[in-house]
Amino acid sequence: MEPNEKIRETVREGYTKIAKGNSGCCCGSSSPDKLAAGIGYTNDELEILPEGANMGLSCGNPTAIANLKSGQVVLDLGSGGGFDVFIAAKKVGPKGKSIGVDMTPEMISKARAGISKFTEKTGLDNVEFRLGEIEYLPAADASVDVVISNCVINLSPDKQQVWNEIARVLKPGGKACVSDLALKKPLPKDVLRSAAALVSCVAGAVGIDETIEMAGRAGLVDIQTDEKAYNIDVMADCSDPLYRQVKESLPRGAKLSDYIVSVNVTAFRTKE
């Protein structure tokens, strides 16, 4: 198997287990509601979510930095159970559209199962979930006002291609709002070799400067980053085997926050 496809398959297998409930958390906490509140999601936002949509997979709050407006089309990369898709749908309203893309069929099924409950709670019918890879988005050129992503791009073995796709699908003047993990210093080799670290977003993390360069090469402009004080060590309370394995791979006395930080990235497609 080609190296990139091997990585995708490892990630897909890991998230299939999470979707089926065989793994409790990933880029987050064993208490999804506590994690969401800690990174800025409000009670009003969480109350409209279908059961199971909040899976504790967040490392930021892209819907907040996106400043979404009524009538916009939003595309969420790696939408999982639909957490940010449903929240974005409420913000863009009945004239808008909120679309999630995920490469794991079990995640797509889980998210689609929540649509009827979301509609029941909000009266909105503006949500869609599409099966696909974020390196080859199932979306037309210049069809999206805002691209969001929450702790997902680090899972891709071809991050430059992801940024190229973001630029392709954005309308002129459109905005990308990405929350992800970034490296503060190189990870230990044992962590880089860990499949658990890959699936939990840690092993795929790159430096903030590298992310800025990739977004720029894709043609995006006005690229801004914001490191968050959100404590990466909240992951330490996660009883999930993924994070146990990652922690066991760290040098004695080391913490995840010694190596990675949560960061928000915003960038724009030029107006044409």
pLDDT in tens, 99-133: 999 999 999 999 999 999 999 999 999 999 999 99
CA 200/CA 214 separation, integer angstroms:
22
pLDDT of residue 210: 95
- Gyration radius of the chain over CA positions: 17
For residue 77, what pLDDT is reported?
98
When the pLDDT of each residue in the chain is averaged and rounded to a whole number, the result is 85
Pick the residue with more confidence: 90 or 196? 90
pLDDT value of position 61: 86
State the burial class of residue 51 (Cβ atoms within 10 Å of its Cβ: 0-12, 13-18, 19+): exposed
Q: Each residue of 235-245: pLDDT tens digit?
A: 445 545 556 66
pLDDT on residue 28: 43
Give ∠ CA 49-168-203 in degrees, rounded to 5: 65
Euclidean distance between CA atoms 79 and 100, whole angstroms:
5
Please give the average per-residue pLDDT across 204-219, as a whole number: 94
* Per-residue pLDDT at 229 exceeds 60: no
Q: What is the pLDDT of residues 57-89, one digit of tens each?
A: 777 889 989 999 999 999 999 999 999 999 999
In whole angstroms, what is the distance from residue 61 CA to residue 63 CA?
6
Residue type for 140, please?
A
Q: What is the pLDDT of residue 27?
A: 46
What domains are defined for the chain? 3-269 (3.40.50.150)
More confident residue, 100 or 196: 100
